[in-house]
Structure 1
Amino acid sequence: MSRTARTVSSAVAVALALGLSACGGSGGDDVAADAKQTLTVWAMGAEGEKLADVAKEYEKDHPHITVKVTPVGWDVAHQKLVSAAAAGTLPDVAQMGGSYMGEFAELGVLEPVDTGRFDEKDFFPAGWKQGEVDGTAYGVPWYVDTRVLYYRTDLAEKAGVAKAPTDWKEMRELATAYQKKAGTKWGLSIQPSGLDTVQNFYSFLYSAGGAIVDDKGEAVIDSPEAVRALEEYGSYFDKGLANKSVPPGYDVVKDFGNGRVPMFFGGPWHVTLLNEGQPQIKGKWAVAPVPADKTSASMAGGSSLVVSKDSEHKAAATEFISYLTGTEGQADWYERTKDLPANTAAWDSGKLADDADLQVFKQQMDTAQSSPSLAKWTEITDKVDQAIAKVTQGKASAQDALKTAQSEIEGLVK
């Protein structure tokens, strides 16, 4: 999914009120894959712009297929999908993030994935899981992303540290050394409060062995592991190693470039942003796996491709998705967008195999964890955002804040 895309789960109730509960039309007779036809495709954000170019290449080899790509902004994507689902006008193929999947699967408007055609073993486990709801796959992984640690190697050397931190203790020590010995303003940039604070917290939560909701669908955010993770997260603010007041829309790239912030957790797109926007620090930074507690684990993001249950072009849609998610299509998509391939075989050759930084992301994806595909997931994570803010602002202990969140989330998962 896009970096900041969110879902509004109340839309489920709206759509249900419009008569979509557990339905979805048959779509009539499916048109054969080799028949002349037009496929409608919605893709979000920058992906929507780039996919139109791929579609033109696809049409050259499949002259009987016209692929009509509609770019949709992430800010309006959810509402457009909900409205289309209610009206029975979803496109044949749509890009869908994990936080949308449970919602639209519940509405009954998605066609289950043909697991005879698409093998989950070809994809990162966390990428495949994002497309599953209650054990049924509705989305084929298109691209993935995860968070790793970015750190200034030149400032670390100045602080007397020669290697990347591998665990929580080493990360705290490096953050402290950056401030005291290298003169940085902060030791680590992590979000203190606001929308999607949980995305920074995941690296701590998952590495501690915690979760928000377990595999049984039960809330577990007040577990000892989760409390330990939030205590560790909060300690950076208590010790003045992280900024308690970060303005909305803050971009860490500039402060990483000027040395005010020497460490942050970032995604693969930050590699390009740093190379293009902060050329003065080329060769002075590196990426490393998330420092471990019980393990090194990060969040899994990305997007899947789904087929509408009402589509009359399911065969052709499946062929197009197979092209986009196959080894060659994935390598081509990376070259066009720098989105990380969800198909693991695409990492075995070319730049993806040769780039040490990119291989760190692959290593992190092997242990990354995806969020459950629950219709109310946004409401659930909002409760965690609130708990984190209480701790970073010194208004509650980790245990008390998560106890409150646990009670609130229990009411959302029943």
Structure 2
Amino acid sequence: MKHKLTGRVAGAIALATATALALTGCGGSSSSGSGSDTLKLVVADYGTGPDNASSKFWQGIVDDFEKANPDIKVKVTSIPWTNFDQQVQTMVQNKQFPDITEGDYFSNYAQDGLLYKASDVLSKPDNLLPAFKDQGSYNGEQYGMPWTTSSRTLFYNKKIFADAGISAAPKTWADLQADAAKIKAKGETGFGLPLGAEEAQAESLLWMLGAGGGYQTDGKYTIDSAANVTAFTFLKNLVKAGDTEPNPGTVNRTDLWQQFAQGKVGMINGSPALIPIIQKAGVLQDSDWASVPIVGQNGPLDTTLGVCDNVAAFNANGHQAQIKKFLDFAYQDKYQLAFDKEYDLLPATTSAADALASDPIFGPFLTALPKSIQYPSDTSWANVKTKIQQTIGTAVTGDPKQVLGQLQQTATSAS
């Protein structure tokens, strides 16, 4: 059963009830609008099936908007999030420009002069979470407007910990390694380390941060820094000891999250998106697991990876005024909270985040957001990320310094 938001959050989303009801009655991927004056809205699909497809959610917002603004029509097109970037790039290459996209990729479009600035199409851009302003900026101007956000914490199985004689969550890498070894001795995977192609860049950054490293320093790539080599040398030793699953470079996040939900993994780094997987599996109760700050080399981190999917507003069709009306409408707290409740994600506005702060499940993730670290925002990141996803997993079975050095060369050339 999906976790229900509690306390003052329930009151905060009461206004969204009508929206939620509207969603169940919406079908298809487009509104009644058509023609040159219709806004073209292209969104990533975060749903797990037809019942909670993102197109249904956005259609609910569109229906409400068109009732309030009968002179503006909006057509919704939904794309699976795994193919979103590629399909939007194809649209742009074919000059079939959308008006609004909600997904990820935006910086290259800003570089090419295809986007409106956030201040041109949003009345209250300062209500967007400030932690993501730089990530959404190009040449000092914000173009990417976060719609939904996420952060990472360490999930651990309290039942497995108790069976292995572990009394508390780990705080340091040494704690984590010792705990993983005890769990392995009980026949379960100690730590789930997903360095496969799905999201290797995220898992890698969490460990880099744990050693005081990261992908960039002062805007320049430093993938082969001493700190990053230290992080991957630790991971190599963890893998060699058998404290993780075999061959982490071939294992994806989704697969390991499923194993954690089945009670087969003691610890794993995760986001709020892991919660519905746990609930759907029906093996672990809420009391069987917990999440804590990401473990660092010398103690828990006060920073973590923070990610967001951005809204981008294209200028090719000249619909600035209509876009601004729609985005002002869509960014209301009731829609932010309803979206995050539906897909177990986090808000992108300060006002909506404040409404969720006291929630026992999502509160820890929100606490981590203000100090979160984002991926690089420059236009080279798309290519660098792909290379990281393809190869960084080999650093835990080969020579970490050599693998990170090759990635550094790729990043330097790309930038």
User: Quick one: which amino acid aligns to residue 162 of structure 2?
Assistant: E
* 1:312 to 1:407, Cα distance in 2 relative to 1, 3 A: closer
| Partner residue, 1:26 | none
Could you give the per-residue CA deviations for residues 47-67 of structure 1, whole angstroms, max 9, x where no partner exists?
Answer: 334211221122233333322
User: Quick one: which amino acid aligns to residue 381 of structure 2?
Assistant: W
User: Quick one: which amino acid aligns to residue 44 of structure 2?
Assistant: M
d(CA) in 2 for partners of 1:90, 1:401: 39
| Partner residue, 1:224 | 226
1:84 Cα deviation from its structure 2 partner: 2.5
Query: What secondary structure does 1:103 align onto?
Result: helix
Return the match for 2:177 from 172, 180, 183: 172
1:127 Cα deviation from its structure 2 partner: 2.6
- Contact 1:165–1:171 under 8 Å retained in 2: yes
d(CA) in 1 for partners of 2:410, 2:88: 28
User: Quick one: which amino acid aligns to residue 362 of structure 1?
Assistant: L
d(CA) in 1 for partners of 2:233, 2:314: 44
- Contact 1:156–1:162 under 8 Å retained in 2: yes
Return the match for 1:334 from 335, 340, 343: 340
| Partner residue, 1:22 | none
Query: What secondary structure does 1:52 align onto?
Result: helix
| Partner residue, 1:375 | 379
| Partner residue, 2:323 | 317
Gaps spanning 5+ residues in structure 2: where? 1-35, 47-53
1:373 Cα deviation from its structure 2 partner: 2.1
What pairs up with 1:24-63 in 2 under 5 angstroms?
A: 38-46=38-46, 47-63=54-70
d(CA) in 2 for partners of 1:153, 1:70: 42
- Contact 2:215–2:376 under 8 Å retained in 1: no
1:44 Cα deviation from its structure 2 partner: 1.3
- Contact 2:154–2:292 under 8 Å retained in 1: yes
* 1:118 to 1:242, Cα distance in 2 relative to 1, 3 A: farther
Could you give the per-residue CA deviations for residues 162-211 of structure 1, whole angstroms, max 9, x where no partner exists?
Answer: 3322232222222222223xx14211001244453222111111232212
| Partner residue, 1:154 | 159
d(CA) in 1 for partners of 2:393, 2:343: 34
| Partner residue, 1:130 | 135
- Contact 1:130–1:371 under 8 Å retained in 2: yes
Query: What secondary structure does 1:206 align onto?
Result: helix
1:107 Cα deviation from its structure 2 partner: 2.3
* 1:215 to 1:325, Cα distance in 2 relative to 1, 3 A: farther
Could you give the per-residue CA deviations for residues 124-151 of structure 1, whole angstroms, max 9, x where no partner exists?
Answer: 3343333212222112111101221111
Q: Which 10-residue stretch deviates more, 144-153 or 192-201?
A: 192-201
d(CA) in 1 for partners of 2:91, 2:262: 46
* 1:177 to 1:296, Cα distance in 2 relative to 1, 3 A: farther
- Contact 1:176–1:187 under 8 Å retained in 2: yes
1:298 Cα deviation from its structure 2 partner: 2.5
Are residue 244 (structure 1) and residue 246 (structure 2) matched?
yes
Could you give the per-residue CA deviations for residues 336-387 of structure 1, whole angstroms, max 9, x where no partner exists?
Answer: 33331011221333xx234222011112212221112233323213444465
Q: TM-score, normalised by structure 2?
A: 0.81
| Partner residue, 2:362 | 358
d(CA) in 2 for partners of 1:169, 1:324: 46
Q: Which 10-residue stretch deviates more, 205-214 or 265-274?
A: 205-214
User: Quick one: which amino acid aligns to residue 360 of structure 1?
Assistant: P
d(CA) in 1 for partners of 2:42, 2:116: 16
| Partner residue, 2:106 | 101
- Contact 2:154–2:270 under 8 Å retained in 1: yes
Return the match for 1:198 from 192, 198, 201: 201
Question: What RMSD in Å do the two structures reach over aligned CA positions?
Answer: 2.5
What pairs up with 1:259-338 in 2 under 5 angstroms?
A: 259-293=263-297, 295-338=301-344
Gaps spanning 5+ residues in structure 1: where? 1-35
Q: Which 10-residue stretch deviates more, 75-84 or 42-51?
A: 75-84
1:121 Cα deviation from its structure 2 partner: 4.6
Query: What secondary structure does 2:74 align onto?
Result: strand
* 1:403 to 1:112, Cα distance in 2 relative to 1, 3 A: same
- Contact 1:192–1:392 under 8 Å retained in 2: no
Return the match for 2:98 from 81, 91, 97: 91
